[in-house]
Structure 1
Amino acid sequence: MIHHLSGIHETADYRTDTQICLYYNDENENYPPHWHTPFEVIMPVKNGYTVVVSEQHYELREGDILVICPGIVHELFAPESGERIIFQPSLSQIQIRELDLLISLLRPAVLITPEEFPDFHPVARRLMMEIKEEYFLCEPYYETAVYSRFMRILVDIGRLHGALKHPVSDASNSRQKDYLDKFLYITNYINEHFAENLSLEQVADLAGFSKYHFTRLFKQYTDTSFYKYLNQKRIDYAKTLLLDPDLPVIDVALQCGFSSLSAFLRMFKQLNKCTPTEFRNMYDY
Structure 2
Amino acid sequence: MIESINGKHETVNFKDHNAFKLYLNDEFENYPEHWHTPVEIIFPLENHYMVSCSNIDYYLKEGDILIITPGTLHRITAPKSGLRIIFQVDLSFLNMFKDIESTISMLAPAKLVTHETMPSIYETARELILEIQKECIEIRPLCDAFTFAKITELFILLGRECLNSSLMFDVTPSKQREYTEKFLNICDFISSHCMEDLTLDDVADRAGFSKYHFSRLFKQFTNTTFYKFLNTKRIAYAENLLIDPGLSITEIAYRSGFNSISSFVRMFKALTSYTPTAYRKLHQS
Are 1:197 and 2:197 an aligned pair?
yes
* Residues 1-285 of structure 1 aligned to structure 2 (within 5 Å): 1-94=1-94, 95-166=96-167, 176-240=176-240, 253-260=253-260, 263-264=263-264, 267-268=267-268, 270-272=270-272, 274=273, 276=275, 280=279, 283=282, 285=285
Q: Deviations over 1:197-241 (max 9, x none)?
A: 211110111223222332233234333321221121123334455
Q: In the aligned structure 2, how far is the partner of 1:27 from the partner of 1:136?
A: 18
Aligned mates of 1:220, 1:22 — CA distance in 2: 34
Cα drift, residue 244 of structure 1: 7.2
C-alpha contact (below 8 Å) 2:265/2:276 kept by paired residues: no
Between the aligned partners of 2:141 and 2:244, the Cα distance in structure 1 is: 39
Gaps of 5+ in 1: none
Q: Contact (CA 8 Å) 2:168, 2:176: kept in 1 or not? A: no
Instruction: Say if 1:23 and 1:263 are closer, same or farther in 2 by CA, change over 3 A.
Output: same
Q: 1:145 & 1:103 partners in 2: Cα distance? A: 20
Q: What stretches of structure 2 of length at least 5 have no aligned partner?
A: none
Per the normalisation by structure 2, the TM-score is: 0.82
Instruction: Give me the TM-score of the superposition, normalised by structure 1.
Output: 0.82
1:179-210 CA distances to partner (integer Å, 9 max, x unpaired)? 44433332222112212221111011122322
Q: Compared with structure 1, are the counterparts of its residues 279 and 119 closer, same or farther at alpha carbon in structure 2 (3 Å cutoff)?
A: farther
Letter in 2 for 1:116: T
Instruction: Tell me, yes or no, if the aligned pair for 1:245 and 1:280 is still in contact at 8 Å.
Output: no
CA contact under 8 A between 1:194 and 1:257: conserved in structure 2?
A: yes
Q: In the comparison of the two structures, how many residue pairs are matched?
A: 281
Query: 1:100, 1:59 → 2: CA distance?
Result: 27
SS at match of 1:161: helix
SS at match of 1:132: helix
Q: Do the aligned residues in 2 keep the contact of 1:249 with 1:276 (CA within 8 Å)?
A: no
1:21, CA displacement in angstroms? 1.3
Q: Residues of 2 paired with 1:113 and 1:282: CA distance? A: 40
How many angstroms apart in 2 are the aligned matches of 1:261 and 1:208?
33
Larger relative contact order, structure 1 or 2 (CA cutoff 8 Å, min sep 6): 1
Q: C-alpha root-mean-square deviation of aligned residues, in Å?
A: 3.1
- 1:95-141 Cα deviation digits (max 9, x unpaired): 11211111220112111122212232233222221221122122233
- CA 1:44–1:132: 2 relative to 1, 3 Å: same
- Of 175-184 and 98-107, deviating more is 175-184
- Distance in 1 between residues matched to 2:264 and 2:26, nearest whole Å: 41
Which residue identity is paired with 1:155? I
**What is the rounded CA distance, in whole Å, between the counterparts of 2:219 and 2:65 in structure 1?**
26
Query: Could you say what secondary structure the match of 1:116 adopts?
Result: coil
CA distance in 2, matches of 1:193, 1:250: 19
CA distance in 1, matches of 2:279, 2:17: 30
CA distance 1:172–1:116, change in 2 (3 Å) = closer
